[in-house]
Chain A
Amino acid sequence: MKFSLQINEGPYQHQAADSAIQFTKAALAKGHEIFRVFFYHDGVNNATRLAIPPQDDRNITEQWVALQKEHNLDLVVCIAAAQRRGLIDEDEMKRQGKDANNIAEGFRISGLGQLIEAGIEADRLIVFGA
Chain B
Amino acid sequence: MAKKFMYINRKPPYGTIYALESLEVVLIGAAFDQDVSLAFIGDGVYQLTKGQDTKAIAQKNFSPVYGALGDYEVTKIYIEKESLEERGLTLDDLQHLVWEDEDEDYAEKDSIRLVSRAELADVLDDQDIILSF
Q: Which residues of A contact B (CB under 8 A)?
A: 6, 40-41, 80-81, 111-113, 115-117, 119-120, 125, 127, 130
Contacts and interface: CB of A to CB of B under 8 A. Distances in A.
Contacts of B32: 113, 116-117, 120
A78 B17 CA distance: 14
Contact of A119 (B5, B17, B31, B133): B5
Contact of B24 (A6, A112, A127, A130): A112
Most chain A beta carbons < 10 A, residue from B5, B21, B24 = B21
B117 to A, nearest CB: 21
Contacts of A111: 28
Interface in B18-55: 18, 21, 24-25, 28-29, 31-32, 34
Decide if the interface of chain A is mainly helix, strand, loop or mixed: helix
Given A127-B132, A130-B133, A116 B18 contact: no
Closest 7 CB pairs of A and B: A112-B28, A119-B129, A116-B29, A116-B32, A125-B129, A112-B25, A113-B28
B21 A41 contact: yes
B87 interface: no
Given A119-B129, A130-B132, A81 B28 contact: no
A53 to B, nearest CB: 24
Interface string B53-95: 0000000000000000000000000000000000000000000
A81 B24 CA distance: 10
B3 interface: yes
Contacts of A112: 24-25, 28-29
A41 B21 CA distance: 7
Given A116-B29, A116-B32, A80 B129 contact: no
Contact of A41 (B5, B17, B31, B128): B17
Nearest to A120: B3
23 contacts: A6-B131, A40-B25, A41-B18, A41-B21, A80-B21, A80-B24, A111-B28, A112-B29, A113-B28, A113-B31, A113-B32, A115-B29, A116-B5, A116-B25, A116-B32, A116-B34, A119-B3, A119-B131, A120-B32, A125-B129, A125-B131, A127-B132, A130-B132
